[in-house]
Amino acid sequence: MPVTTIGLDADDTLWHNESLFRLTQERFCELLADTAEAGVAMTRLAEVESRNLRLYGYGVKGFTLSMLETAMEMTGGEPPGHVIREILAAGREMLAYPVEPLSGVDEALHALSETYRLVLITKGDLLHQEQKLAASGLGDLFAAVEIVSEKDASTYERVFARHGTGAAEAVMAGNSMRSDVLPALQAGAYAAYVPYPLVWAHEVAEAPEGEPRFAELSTIADLPAWVRSL
């Protein structure tokens, strides 16, 4: 069946994201260095984030609130003022951080957009994701943008039905096995896994085995050739 539509993840597929979270986590651990070893603060923060995911969803604002909550717990409910100030500032800096496409993204998307309909499919804070897309300069290459609260098979069915010719004629490409690859395959789409050096523990999953509609690509630069070969 011919491919008509390419879904692309955004964070860590088109531009850096996890590295910025990691830098902020390190900054958070340094802030609490008097209270706990870095490893302890990191673990506590991950626990609080995970616990809050259902309430806050994905994105920087929820992450900032989770850092504050962790700081409260780790200081017996009396964090020094500068800790609060630094956490609020870190969140603001993440939201305002300059966005630059990863190497090869610009060329791959230009090549793909000549033949296929490109759809951005991403989780995160609505406004922030829109702002990052605008700042990336890639916005005009996309026929549609879908910012979603969760990426499961029904999400991909709905999005590819709405913006393309159905999941069977669509490719999803992204850096998360759990959010981009597996549910897209489940929906009947093709899926390309384009790893990023860092991956959030929440997004880790096993690669599918013996799945002809799946490919692992070492770089997004290989995406146009793979899509043409389908």
Strand, helix or coil for residue 58: coil
Q: Of residues 87-126, which lie at the interface with its own copies (CB under 8 A)?
A: 88, 91-92, 95-96, 125-126
Smallest gap from Cβ 220 to its own copies, in A, equals 26
- The count of chain residues that interact with its own copies, using the rule CB under 8 A, is 35
Tell which one of 3, 14, 29, 148 touches its own copies (CB under 8 A). Answer: 148
Tell which one of 4, 23, 38, 61 touches its own copies (CB under 8 A). Answer: 61
d(CA 109, CA 14): 10
Strand, helix or coil for residue 73: helix
Cβ proximity to its own copies, 84 vs 111, nearer residue: 84
Q: Is 145 in the site for its own copies (CB under 8 A)?
A: no
Q: Is 134 in the site for its own copies (CB under 8 A)?
A: no
Q: Is 81 in the site for its own copies (CB under 8 A)?
A: yes
d(CA 182, CA 96): 32
Q: Is 50 in the site for its own copies (CB under 8 A)?
A: no
Rg (CA), the chain: 19
* Phi and psi torsions of 170, nearest 5°: -125, 155
d(CA 128, CA 60): 8
Q: Is 86 in the site for its own copies (CB under 8 A)?
A: no
Residue 47: how many CA atoms within 13 Å on its side-chain side?
11
Smallest gap from Cβ 158 to its own copies, in A, equals 10
Q: Which span sits near its own copies by CB under 8 A: 12-20, 25-33, 74-82, 204-212?
A: 74-82
d(CA 194, CA 177): 9
Count of positions (residues) in the chain: 230
Cβ proximity to its own copies, 28 vs 58, nearer residue: 58
Cβ proximity to its own copies, 16 vs 61, nearer residue: 61
What is the dihedral angle through the alpha carbons of 158, 161, 167, 173, rounded to the nearest 10 degrees? -70
Cβ proximity to its own copies, 59 vs 224, nearer residue: 59
Pick the closest to residue 79 from 91, 90, 71, 88 (CA basis).
71
Interface contacts to its own copies, rule CB under 8 A: 55-58, 61-62, 64-65, 68-69, 72, 75-82, 84-85, 88, 91-92, 95-96, 125-128, 130, 147-149, 162
